[in-house]
């Protein structure tokens, strides 16, 4: 194994690295070795080498340096700290710098900067982020054309895609009998997505023909992540793309077309096409982090119309000269889509405010827990 040198990366640390093998599992060669942040991190760890996270566990990570071999590396102690924000820990798709041979207790040394992510806010009152996947080129948003079809959920997934990854909406179960109401709703949603230049494909996840349909996003060295509700067909699609039953699948309930979480953890899988695919468990709660741009999530047309409203602080309800209300009345905009846009806009703003409050230093530069604050209140007679 030897390092591949090009004139552009002469300043990169002279490591014994096979970048061609890494490229097969998604290394963005040749840009990454010459990228300033990556080169700086590698220079700070001159005896370490890159490896990609293919599974995330409590005390360590399964990583790969080639498409054919993977092994466990020991986590950095800082990554195990309970109070460390989840998005500060490595996730599936991340690139680490590691030391040690695969059979000699290898250890992680550093996390390389991310090129792109898909993440959501964690459930609960306190602000936090959950990273779903990192360093991805394409996000496949899977939705079944059955009782679980929900264009508003698709819009939620779209705004979570950040950092330059390309969203592609995959409509599955088209081979089954589809209710006409669902199809009418799907046609309207597809027209809105097409107007925003968001790619949509209708597939049968069990049919190998879908491999050719998705080939533009699954070339050698590319990385895609599959997201969607339980029962939408994510694991079935993964098995078809892999060419074998790698992921467990299950039936959906007839009452609401929802499935169980047959995929219980995220995993990066190498495909015969040379691409890497990350399968994920179904997600029922999709809370924005506050960092999203609604225009990049399929709402560029609505935001452009908002700029034409007569009043700058228009909330698009009953104000005179509201361009958005005018478009709805003219049949040019779907009222339900506008309502979802307003709801998501409020959620993004609220999440951004919680994030700012969480990051703001407290007096004296110290943080105060709820228990500590309660004791202070009792001491000063506030309770």
pLDDT in tens, 27-78: 876 555 556 778 888 888 888 999 999 998 877 899 999 998 899 999 999 9
Q: What is the pLDDT of residues 74-91, one digit of tens each?
A: 999 999 888 888 888 999
pLDDT recorded at residue 82: 83
Check pLDDT > 60 for residue 255.
Answer: no
Contact between 113 and 41 (Cβ < 8 Å): yes
d(CA 52, CA 37): 17
Whether residue 251 is found in the same domain as residue 300: no
- Summary mean pLDDT of the chain: 81
Check pLDDT > 90 for residue 134.
Answer: yes
Whether residue 145 is found in the same domain as residue 44: no
Considering its fold, how many domains does the chain have in total?
A: 3
Whether residue 128 is found in the same domain as residue 225: yes
Contact between 304 and 198 (Cβ < 8 Å): no
Unique residue bearing structure tokens 């599959």: 226
pLDDT recorded at residue 329: 93
Q: b/e per residue, 200-239, with b = 16+ CB within 10 A? A: bbbbbbbeeebbeebeebbeebbbbbbbbbbbbbbbbbbb
Parent domain of 316? 294-359
Whether residue 18 is found in the same domain as residue 150: no
Percent of the chain with pLDDT over 90: 40
Domain-terminating residue out of 279, 314, 345: 279
- Report yes or no on 237 lying in a domain: yes
Whether residue 129 is found in the same domain as residue 250: yes
Whether residue 267 is found in the same domain as residue 316: no
- Whether a cis peptide bond, with omega within 30° of 0, leads into 381 is no
- Pair of tokens at residue 130: 């959950």
Whether residue 197 is found in the same domain as residue 133: yes
pLDDT recorded at residue 107: 93
Identify the band that residue 245 occupies on the pLDDT scale cut at 50, 70 and 90: low
| pTM metric for this prediction | 0.81
In which element (H, E) is residue 108 found? Answer: strand 107-111
- Report yes or no on 372 lying in a domain: no
- Pair of tokens at residue 307: 């700029």
- Name residue 200's beta-bridge partners: 169
Whether residue 246 is found in the same domain as residue 133: yes
Whether residue 164 is found in the same domain as residue 181: yes
- Pair of tokens at residue 297: 């999530």
Q: What is the pLDDT of residues 264-291, one digit of tens each?
A: 468 899 999 999 999 888 776 788 989 9
Q: What is the pLDDT of residues 197-244, one digit of tens each?
A: 899 998 999 999 999 999 999 999 999 999 988 778 888 999 999 987
Whether residue 314 is found in the same domain as residue 176: no
pLDDT recorded at residue 258: 45
- Report yes or no on 314 lying in a domain: yes
Whether residue 107 is found in the same domain as residue 129: no
Residues 6+ apart with CB under 8 A from 61: 53, 55, 72, 73, 75, 90, 96, 108
CA 107 to chain centre: 26
Among 3-12, 72-81, 156-165, 247-256, which stretch is predicted with the lowest mean pLDDT?
3-12
């Amino acid at each position: 194994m030897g390092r591949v040198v090009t004139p552009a990366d002469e300043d990169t640390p002279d490591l014994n690295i096979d970048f061609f093998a890494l490229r097969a599992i998604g290394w963005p060669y040749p840009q990454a070795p010459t990228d300033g942040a990556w080169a700086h991190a590698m220079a700070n760890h001159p005896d370490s080498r890159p490896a990609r996270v293919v599974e995330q566990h409590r005390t360590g990570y399964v990583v790969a340096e080639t498409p054919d071999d993977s092994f466990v590396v020991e986590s950095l102690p800082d990554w195990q700290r309970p109070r460390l924000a989840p998005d500060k820990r490595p996730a599936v798709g991340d690139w680490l710098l590691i030391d040690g041979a695969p059979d000699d207790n290898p250890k992680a040394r550093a996390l390389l900067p991310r090129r792109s992510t898909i993440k959501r806010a964690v459930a609960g009152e306190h602000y936090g982020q959950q990273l779903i996947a990192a360093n991805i080129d394409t996000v496949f948003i899977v939705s079944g054309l059955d009782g679980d079809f929900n264009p508003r959920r698709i819009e939620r997934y779209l705004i979570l895609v950040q950092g330059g990854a390309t969203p592609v909406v995959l409509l599955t179960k088209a081979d089954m009998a589809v209710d006409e109401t669902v199809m009418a709703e799907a046609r309207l949603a597809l027209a809105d997505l097409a107007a925003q230049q968001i790619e949509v494909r209708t597939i049968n996840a069990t049919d190998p023909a879908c491999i050719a349909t998705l080939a533009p996003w699954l070339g050698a060295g590319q990385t895609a992540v599959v997201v969607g509700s339980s029962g939408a067909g994510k694991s079935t699609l993964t098995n078809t793309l892999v060419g074998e039953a790698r992921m467990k699948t299950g039936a959906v309930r007839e009452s609401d077309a929802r499935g169980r979480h047959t995929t219980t953890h995220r995993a990066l899988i190498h495909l015969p096409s040379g691409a890497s695919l990350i399968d994920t468990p179904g997600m029922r709660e999709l809370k924005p982090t506050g960092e999203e741009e609604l225009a990049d999530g399929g709402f560029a047309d609505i935001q452009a119309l908002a700029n034409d409203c007569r009043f700058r602080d228009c909330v698009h309800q009953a104000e005179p000269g509201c361009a958005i209300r005018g478009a709805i009345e003219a049949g040019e905009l779907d009222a339900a889509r506008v309502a979802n846009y307003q709801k998501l806009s409020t959620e993004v703003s609220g999440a951004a405010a919680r994030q700012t409050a969480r990051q703001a230093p407290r007096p004296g530069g110290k943080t105060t827990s709820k228990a500590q604050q309660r004791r202070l209140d009792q001491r000063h007679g506030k309770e």
